[in-house]
Amino acid sequence: MRLTKEQLEQFDREGYLFFPGLFKPEETKTLTAAVPELYARREAYNVREKGSDAVRTNFAAHMVSEPFARLARHPRMVRPVMDLFDEQVYMHQFKINGKMAFEGDVWQWHQDYGTWLNDDMMPTERAMNVAIFLDDVNEYNGPLMFIPGSHKKGVVEARHDLTTTSYPLWTVSNDLIAQLVERAGGKDGGIVSPKGPAGSMILFHSCLVHASTSNLSPWNRVSVYLSLCAVSNHIRRFKRPEYIAHRDFTPIECLPDDCLRMPYPVDVPWKNGMPASALVTSSEPIDQIKKAA
Distance CA 197, CA 23 (A): 10
pLDDT tens digits, one per residue of 187-206: 999 999 999 999 999 999 99
What whole-number percentage of the chain has pLDDT above 90?
A: 78
Domain boundaries, the chain: 5-292
pLDDT tens digits, one per residue of 227-261: 999 999 999 999 999 999 999 999 999 999 999 99
CATH fold of 5-292 reads Jelly Rolls (2.60.120)
Helix residue spans in the chain (DSSP H) = 5-14, 25-40, 66-71, 75-85, 112-120, 174-183, 286-292
Predicted pLDDT at 159: 84
* 169 pLDDT above the threshold of 80: no
Whole-structure pTM over 0.95, yes or no?
A: no
Predicted pLDDT at 291: 53
Report the chain's mean pLDDT, rounded to a whole number. 92
Predicted pLDDT at 122: 96
* 157 pLDDT above the threshold of 90: no
Distance CA 61, CA 80 (A): 22
* 158 pLDDT above the threshold of 90: no
